[in-house]
């Protein structure tokens, strides 16, 4: 038996499936992004052979990028598709903070003994559902107010995570978005976080 022919056939089939799946996801995202671009006055960058389409627009002086990627990390554990919204702030928050949904009791136990971890919000349901990583306690308290906690707790997006890193806010979910409502929710959460990062009175 010519094993090399079988191997070549398997590789060819995998490449063909990858191309088909990439094309299918690109078309779906392009359709969603076109609707959102019209709403936000943005532009859609077409997909390439390796990159999914992108939506870019500005909101209240902040540049927003929406797209998806096929992998989130270099390790097998992190190699999974994800959809995200990046917001570039016109100022530097000077803070680093990550908030991630996690129901793992072991992770929560580790957090309680980690030096420098921001304190729990005092909202039992939120503190049980989300991990908070960061050193600036005042910033964490300002960011995770009642409105933000309500939105994050009510979200059904898989493995929802939010990050603030200096001038950038990122909100992402596991998997490639399949519905416009999922992307709208990511954008909404990112906007709420951006309002609370801004100097002066916070948004509502």
Residues 108, 130: Cα–Cα separation, whole Å: 8
Structural domain contains residue 154: yes
Please name the residue ranges forming H helices in the chain.
3-40, 105-112, 124-129, 137-143, 146-154, 180-197
Instruction: Check: CB of residue 132 under 8 Å from CB of residue 97.
Output: yes
pLDDT-derived band at 189 (thresholds 50, 70, 90) equals very high
Please provide the DSSP assignment of 72-128 as one string: S-SSTTT---EEEEEEE-SS----EEEEEE---HHHHHHHHTSTTPPPP-S-HHHHH
Structural domain contains residue 202: no
Given a cut of 60, is residue 180 above it in pLDDT?
yes
pLDDT-derived band at 77 (thresholds 50, 70, 90) equals very low
Instruction: Check: CB of residue 162 under 8 Å from CB of residue 193.
Output: yes
Given a cut of 80, is residue 65 above it in pLDDT?
yes
Residues 60, 151: Cα–Cα separation, whole Å: 21
Lowest mean pLDDT among 23-27, 75-79, 144-148, 154-158: 75-79
Alpha-carbon dihedral 140, 175, 92, 184, rounded to 10 degrees: -90
Structural domain contains residue 133: yes
Residue 56's SS3 state is strand
Write the pLDDT tens digit of every residue in 113-137.
555 555 567 778 888 888 888 888 8
Answer with the residue of higher pLDDT: 157 or 22. Answer: 157
Rounded mean pLDDT of 155-165? 92
Q: What is the pLDDT of residue 11?
A: 79
Residue 103's SS3 state is coil
Q: What is the pTM of this model?
A: 0.81
Residues 184, 182: Cα–Cα separation, whole Å: 5
Domain holding 23, by residue range, is 3-197
pLDDT-derived band at 108 (thresholds 50, 70, 90) equals low
Residues 162, 146: Cα–Cα separation, whole Å: 16
Structural domain contains residue 203: no
Structural domain contains residue 73: yes
Answer with the residue of higher pLDDT: 73 or 159. Answer: 159
Degrees (nearest 5) of the Cα angle 127, 200, 58? 85
| CA R_g for the chain | 19
Q: What is the pLDDT of residue 47?
A: 87
Structural domain contains residue 7: yes
Residue 154's SS3 state is helix
Split into its structural domains, the chain has a count of 1
Specify which residues 162 forms β-bridges with.
99, 171
Structural domain contains residue 10: yes
Instruction: Check: CB of residue 79 under 8 Å from CB of residue 175.
Output: no
Q: What is the pLDDT of residue 2?
A: 74
């Amino acid at each position: 038996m010519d094993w090399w022919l079988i191997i070549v056939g398997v590789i060819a089939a995998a490449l063909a499936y990858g191309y088909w799946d990439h094309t299918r996801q690109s078309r779906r995202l392009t359709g969603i992004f076109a609707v959102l671009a019209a709403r936000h006055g943005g532009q859609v960058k077409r997909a390439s052979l390796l990159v999914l389409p992108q939506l870019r627009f500005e909101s209240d002086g902040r540049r927003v990028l929406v797209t998806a990627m096929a992998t989130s990390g270099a390790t097998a554990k992190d190699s999974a598709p994800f959809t995200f919204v990046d917001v570039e702030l016109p100022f530097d928050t000077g803070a680093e903070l990550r908030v991630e949904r996690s129901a793992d009791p072991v992770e929560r136990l580790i957090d309680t003994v980690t030096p420098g971890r921001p304190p729990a919000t005092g909202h039992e349901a939120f503190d049980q559902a989300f991990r908070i990583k960061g050193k600036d306690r005042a910033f964490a308290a300002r960011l995770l107010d009642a409105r933000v906690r309500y939105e994050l707790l009510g979200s059904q997006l898989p493995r929802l995570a939010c990050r603030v890193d200096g001038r950038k806010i990122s909100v992402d979910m596991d998997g490639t978005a399949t519905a416009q409502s999922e992307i709208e929710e990511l954008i909404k959460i990112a906007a709420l976080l951006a309002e609370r990062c801004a100097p002066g009175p916070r948004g509502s």
